[in-house]
C-alpha cells in the first residue's frame, strides 16, 4: 500500500439504517502525508430526508453552510460513481485501498450500506486516527485539538494533521 485514501462523510445522523450521506470528501496521500489529489461532492437529498435530521445535526450543517448547498448536489448513485472513478484513478483494480480518517468505522458503515461498489475496493483494515487519539490522550496525556468545521474536506485535513502530531512523539531508529 503506497497510498492512503482519507475519507470523511457528513450525514443526516449516525444511523445508516435511517440516515443518509450529505457530503463526501477524499484526499489521497502518500505515507509522508503529502497530498496527491482531492475530491469533494455534495449529495442531494429530498426535503423528507432532510426533515428527519435531529435538531443538533440540522443546526451543525446550517452553521457550516452545507445545508444551503444540498439542493444543488449530485444523486447518491452519481456520487458513488464519481468517488469510484477517483479511487480507480489512483489505485489499480487489484489494489485493496486503505481507508483512513477519524472514527472511520462510522463512515465505513455508510459506505457499506449506500455505496457497495466503493466498499468492495476497500481493504478490511483501516487507519483510524481516533484510535491514536485514545492512546495518546490516555497513556501519554497528549492531545491534539481540532476545529471540527463539519465540512468533509476540512475534517480530513485536520485528521491528517492530527496523526502527524501524534507521530512526532514516536522515536525512530
Q: Which residues participate in catalysis according to the annotation?
A: 124
Q: What is the CA radius of gyration of the chain?
A: 16
> Rounded to whole angstroms, how far apart are CA atoms 173 and 171?
7
DSSP state of 67: G
What DSSP string describes 124-150?
Answer: EEEEEHHHHHHHHHHHS---------S
> At 26, phi and psi to the nearest 5?
-140, 145
DSSP-derived 3-state class of residue 43: strand
Amino acid at each position: 500500500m503506497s497510498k492512503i485514501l482519507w475519507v470523511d462523510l457528513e450525514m443526516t445522523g449516525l444511523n445508516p439504517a435511517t440516515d443518509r450521506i450529505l457530503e463526501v470528501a477524499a484526499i489521497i496521500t502518500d505515507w509522508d502525508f503529502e497530498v496527491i489529489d482531492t475530491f469533494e461532492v455534495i449529495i442531494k437529498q429530498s426535503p423528507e430526508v432532510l426533515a428527519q435530521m435531529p435538531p443538533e445535526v440540522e443546526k451543525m450543517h446550517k452553521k457550516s453552510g452545507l445545508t444551503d448547498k444540498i439542493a444543488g448536489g449530485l444523486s447518491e448513485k452519481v456520487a458513488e460513481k464519481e468517488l469510484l472513478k477517483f479511487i480507480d484513478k489512483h489505485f489499480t483494480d487489484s489494489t485493496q485501498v486503505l481507508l483512513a480518517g477519524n472514527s472511520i468505522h462510522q463512515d465505513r458503515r455508510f459506505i457499506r450500506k449506500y455505496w457497495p461498489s466503493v466498499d468492495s475496493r476497500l481493504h478490511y483494515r483501516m487507519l483510524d486516527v481516533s484510535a491514536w487519539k485514545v492512546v495518546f490522550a490516555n497513556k501519554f496525556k497528549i492531545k491534539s485539538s481540532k476545529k471540527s468545521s463539519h465540512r468533509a474536506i476540512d475534517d480530513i485535513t485536520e485528521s491528517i494533521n492530527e496523526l502527524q502530531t501524534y507521530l512526532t512523539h514516536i522515536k525512530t531508529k
